[in-house]
Amino acid sequence: MKILVLNAGSSSQKSCLYEIADKTLPSQAPEPVWEGKVNWTQNQDVAEIDVTTNTGKKLQESISIDSPEAHLIYILNTLIGGATKVIDRLSEIDVVGHRVVHGGRDYQNSVVITEDVKKAIANLSNIAPEHNPAALAGIEAIEKILGEVTQIAVFDTAFHATLPDAAAIYPGLYEWVEQGIRRYGFHGISHEYCSARAAQILGQDLASLRLITCHLGNGCSLAAIKNGHSIDTTMGFTPLEGLMMGSRSGSIDPGILIHLLRYCNYSVEQLDRILNKTSGLRGISGISSDLREVTKAIAQGNPRAKLAWDIYVHRLRSGIGAMLTSLGGLDVLVFTAGVGENSPAIRQAACEALGFLGLKIDFEKNQQQPVDVDIATSDSTVRILVIHTQEDWAIAQHCWQILKGIAQ
Ligand code: ADP
């Protein structure tokens, strides 16, 4: 089965092709046979193209054509021609899976995309303006390029559909619940993948484990997972709630917004931009949203960079504490995504605060660029795993399962 996975964002579109035997899914993520990335620069007319294959072929180009659809056509043509060719015809692709950030209350599982699904994704664009329109554009472009191919939406909210009402409902007006204003949670594809992978690495039944998964990338969120289900998470109605992130504030007192609107002449657009784009590590450090840059500035004695680090760690620890009490105990703590996978110092700082639980991180293992490895000491009461999140593979797995279901 040839599965194309598309992951469309506001400034990039990632795609990859998996070839999987029809009979069984491999137990671990295989390498995609082809990966393509389009990065849109500030000047929207220019796109940076980056293609690699599992045989080591590469293509890097800047192209100046005028629409995301044209970019997608360009990049898909690298599947069937030139040095990065891996298939003869695009019609060999059996299914296209899309990461869709928001599925709302109606879509609690992955689905085959129909006109109704497209309408729902479009209607949810006002809550996920950075992501849902980009996913829809990708779906419509694939319809034009590949015609009748089966397309599947895999939602980042779906894994959190099991949140109990007490965790999901905001203590505002009860009418909000009917209006769909509630905690949805995001990064669900990653939290689900990492919890399943953790159980696999430990050789234990997922249903028997209490896990906290820390997805720390540009966006950051935690999930509390019990019996394989998400029972609490830090992101909310939008991906703005919860932890401090690269350029997003995470949770702040909503009274601050009222104050800024009432007394400081802020517009809604300004607030949106500030909270989503210029806050978090970037806002406090004044340096960058990238933790690596913030860390360099700390080494040079920059006090704002140090403050940004301290707030990030404080909020991460508080968030873990909140998930811990929702779970009523902890068996496994998982770190994943750019920061979670690559920053031993953040892992160390988060774990230090949990020593009272008997959780002990192995200093050496933590330093050794662990991938899918347990970095707890042998006498730790909680396992601590670093897992490379494989969202594209998780989407491909959903596609395989749905297509197999259809075929039966
Ligand atoms: P996204 O959320 O966009 O998918 P990633 O999961 O790739 O992003 O995370 C990107 C972030 O990971 C970067 O902004 C950077 O802060 C962080 N990161 C990557 N490598 C390191 C590292 N070696 N040390 C600290 N942070 C890192």
What is the chain's pLDDT, residue by residue, as a tens digit (408 residues)? 999 999 987 778 899 999 998 788 999 999 999 999 998 776 667 889 999 999 999 999 988 867 778 888 899 999 999 999 999 999 999 999 999 999 999 999 999 999 999 999 999 998 888 889 999 999 999 999 999 999 999 999 999 999 999 999 999 999 999 999 999 999 999 999 999 999 999 999 999 999 999 999 999 999 999 999 999 999 999 999 999 999 999 999 999 999 999 999 999 999 999 999 999 999 999 999 999 999 999 999 999 999 999 999 999 999 999 999 999 999 999 999 999 999 999 999 999 999 999 999 999 999 999 999 999 999 999 999 999 999 999 999 999 999 988 765
Residue with the smallest CA separation from ligand 1 atom 23 is 342
| Alpha-carbon span 107 to 161, nearest angstrom | 9
Total Cβ atoms within 10 A of residue 356: 6
Atom number, ligand 1, closest to the C-alpha of residue 295: 25
DSSP letter for each residue of 30-94 = PPPSEEEEEEE-SSTT-EEEEEEETTS-EEEEEE--S-HHHHHHHHHHHHHSSTT---S-GGG--
Which listed CATH number (3.30.420.40, 3.30.1340.10, 3.10.20.30, 1.10.3720.10) goes with 204-386? Answer: 3.30.420.40
Name the residue among 329, 316, 159 with its Cα closest to residue 242: 316
Residues with CB under 6 A from ligand 1: 217-219, 246, 289-292, 337-339, 342-343
Residues 370 and 386: beta-carbon distance below 8 Å: yes
**Which residue is closest in CA terms to ligand 1's atom 22?**
342
CATH number for the region 2-155 comes to 3.30.420.40
Backbone φ/ψ region at 179: left (φ over 0), alpha (ψ -120 to 50), beta: alpha
- State which ligand 1 atom lies nearest to the alpha carbon of 281: 16
In the reported structure, the alpha carbon of residue 341 is separated from the centroid of ligand 1 by a whole-number distance in angstroms of 8
Q: What is the pLDDT of residue 44?
A: 62
The catalytic residue among 116, 156, 165, 290 is: 156
Q: Which atom of ligand 1 is nearest to the CA of 216?
A: 6
Percent of the chain clearing pLDDT 90 (strictly above): 88
What ranges in 81-131 are assigned the alpha helix state H?
115-123
Tokens of 162: 């099991």
What's the 101 CA to ligand 1 centre distance in angstroms?
A: 19
Cα angle value 75/53/46 (rounded, 5°): 30
Same-fold call for 2-155 versus 204-386: yes
Is 22 a catalytic site residue? no
Residue ranges covered by each domain of the chain: 2-155, 204-386
Residues 196, 155, 370, 247: is their CA dihedral positive or negative?
negative
Tokens standing for residue 53: 């294959």
59 by Cβ neighbours in 10 Å (0-12 / 13-18 / 19+) ranks as middle
- Position 69 scores a pLDDT of 82
pLDDT of residue 42: 65
Q: What is the CA radius of gyration of the chain?
A: 21
- Inter-CA distances, 258 with 163, 266, 279, Å: 29, 10, 17
Inter-CA distances, 183 with 72, 126, 169, 281, 285, Å? 33, 15, 6, 24, 29
Give the containing element (helix H, strand E) for 111: strand 111-112
Q: Identity (one letter) of the amino acid at 243?
A: L
Can you tell me which atom of ligand 1 is nearest the CA of 389?
6
Per-residue pLDDT tens over the stretch 76-88: 999 999 999 999 9
Give CA–CA dist 34/50, Å, rounded: 11
In the reported structure, the alpha carbon of residue 337 is separated from the centroid of ligand 1 by a whole-number distance in angstroms of 7
pTM of the complete model beyond 0.85: yes
At residue 15, the pLDDT reads 96
* Helix, strand and coil percent figures for the chain, each rounded to 5: 45, 20, 40
C-alpha span between 139 and 123 (Å, rounded): 15
| Predicted pLDDT of residue 278 | 96
Distance CA 398, CA 16 (A): 15
In total, the chain counts a number of residues equal to 408
Res 100: pLDDT: 97
Return the residue whose CA atom lies nearest to atom 21 of ligand 1. 342
d(CA 397, CA 102): 19
pLDDT recorded at residue 127: 85
CA nearest ligand 1 atom 19, residue:
338
Taking the centre of ligand 1 as the mean of its atom positions, its distance from the CA of residue 339, in whole angstroms, is 5
> Going by CA atoms, what residue is nearest to atom 24 of ligand 1?
343
pLDDT at 49: 92
Query: How far does residue 223's CA lie from ligand 1's centre (Å)?
Result: 19
Which pLDDT belongs to residue 388?
A: 98
pLDDT tens column, 202-249 = 999 999 999 999 999 999 999 999 999 999 999 999 999 999 999 999
* Tokens, residue 370: 């662990």
The Cα–Cα gap between 296 and 307 comes to 13
